[in-house]
Amino acid sequence: MDFDTCRLVAESWADSADCPFRLLFADEAEKTLFFSAPRNESVSFYVVCPDYLKNMKKTKGKFGVEGVPRGDNLFLWDVKLTNIDPKCPLGKDLQQYAKQHQEEPVIKMEMKFPPDYPMAPPFVRVLKPRFKFLTGHVTIGGSICMEMLTRSGWRPTNDIESILVQIRAEILSDNNARLDKNPNWEYTESEAKTAFHRMVNRYGWE
């Protein structure tokens, strides 16, 4: 998706009745789209979507991460963590899970951007497969246990690809990371948020 196409998609979405945002302008030099929320003029954010998409396409699979917007929604991304070593316990679980359920041996995730991104972090959660209880830095609800994804540890300079690479590394850093292979249903957003807030309170993060 080039910058002009991305801008057209953003303009179309911003003009829809259910969109709370308003496209302010497109900076072609910086490849940046600027939005504001008319319901709350203090809320503004920018989405550097074209460059991110270009980089993700260029390095697709190279770092074991893939991510694309869901349909024409630039604020909701579908993510895959790929190329997990089939010799490690988690990799073996993934291979068995994929064979059993006829799916890809990948970890499917969702990344949702808040209205004040990049000043606030995206909400990232595993969709499926489900992990065994408290392994892989994945909460019981599927959210990711990383201070970087909270307001306490977030930095506006973080970009999408680096976030995903760090999440992948964090999951794989736990040698005890395993899958709960029997159920084949997704974590819900509700249980992910509940577990996330419980984690934030537990560690004293914001």
Report how far residue 6's alpha carbon sits from residue 58's, in angstroms, rounded to the nearest whole number: 17
Q: Which residues pair with 70 in a beta bridge?
A: 73
Active site residue 145: yes
Please provide the distance, in angstroms rounded to a whole number, between the alpha carbons at the two ends of the chain.
35
Q: Are 151 and 162 in contact (CB under 8 A)?
A: no
Cα 170 to Cα 76, 146, 150, 160: the distances in Å are 22, 8, 15, 15
Report how far residue 102's alpha carbon sits from residue 124's, in angstroms, rounded to the nearest whole number: 25
Q: Where does residue 90 rank: exposed (0-12), middle (13-18), buried (19+ CB within 10 A)?
A: buried
Report which secondary-structure segment, H or E, holds 101: helix 89-101
Structure tokens at 201: 């309170």
* Residue of 6, 19, 88, 145 with catalytic role: 145
Report which secondary-structure segment, H or E, holds 124: strand 123-128
Active site residues: 145
